[in-house]
């Protein structure tokens, strides 16, 4: 897999939120033109994107802010059992410390932190604009 894409309204806030998780901004640009519209099926699109790289260097997250056309649907408040995209899960070393840092960027716990046997501590949080992410701390 090359990357996962998330559409946002406030690109700067989303970048800072994912930086707090340890992702590194690789680049930021505007994508537009006839070729881009042919790929997405949105004829005259203009999109500002930021590509974020995971700390291990293997995965990327593409954050997109549509300038044109305007956003058509809003799934930010969909429950975790809604059809379609659910969440991106991140492995963290210290779940409690990560939650403390992310709360400074508006993250809110969806349910509660739970323990999955002796293997993981897990939770879901909503970040800026309701972006749903999972956090997993491996135990042992």
Please state, in angstroms and rounded to a whole number, the distance separating the CA atoms of residues 82 and 124: 15
Three-state SS string over 18-34 comes to: HHHCCCEEEEEEEEECH
| Predicted pLDDT of residue 42 | 83
Global pTM value? 0.88
List, in order, residues 6 or more apart from 88 with CB less than 8 Å away: 4, 6, 61, 133, 134
Query: pLDDT per position in the chain (140 positions), as tens?
Result: 788 999 999 999 999 999 999 999 999 999 988 888 788 888 888 999 999 999 999 999 999 999 988 887 777 777 777 777 778 899 999 999 999 999 999 999 999 999 999 999 999 999 988 888 999 999 98
CATH number among 3.10.180.10, 3.40.50.720, 3.90.1150.10, 3.30.460.10, domain 88-138: 3.10.180.10
Quote the DSSP letter at residue 130: G
Q: Which helix (H) or strand (E) holds 40?
A: helix 34-40
How confident is the model over 78-108, as pLDDT tens digits?
A: 777 777 777 889 999 999 999 999 999 999 9
Domain ranges for the chain: 3-68, 88-138
Phi–psi pair at 66, nearest 5 degrees? -80, 125
CATH number for the domain running over 3-68:
3.10.180.10
What is the per-residue pLDDT for 95? 97
Do domains 3-68 and 88-138 share one topology? The answer is: yes
Which residues have a Cβ under 8 Å from the Cβ of 45 and sit 6 or more positions away? 31, 32, 36, 37, 66, 68, 69
Q: What is the pLDDT of residue 20?
A: 95
């Amino acid at each position: 897999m090359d990357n996962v894409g998330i559409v946002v309204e406030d690109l700067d806030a989303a970048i800072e939120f994912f930086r707090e998780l340890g992702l590194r901004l690789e680049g930021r640009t505007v994508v537009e033109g006839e070729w881009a519209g042919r790929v997405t099926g949105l004829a005259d699109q203009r999109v500002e994107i930021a590509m974020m790289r995971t700390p291990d260097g293997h995965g990327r997250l593409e954050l997109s802010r549509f300038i044109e056309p305007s956003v058509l649907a809003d799934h930010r408040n969909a429950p975790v059992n809604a059809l379609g995209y659910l969440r991106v899960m991140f492995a963290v070393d210290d779940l409690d410390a990560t939650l403390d840092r992310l709360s400074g960027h508006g993250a809110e716990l969806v349910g509660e932190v739970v323990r999955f046997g002796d293997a993981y501590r897990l939770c879901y949080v909503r970040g800026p604009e309701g972006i749903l992410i999972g956090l997993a701390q491996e135990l042992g």
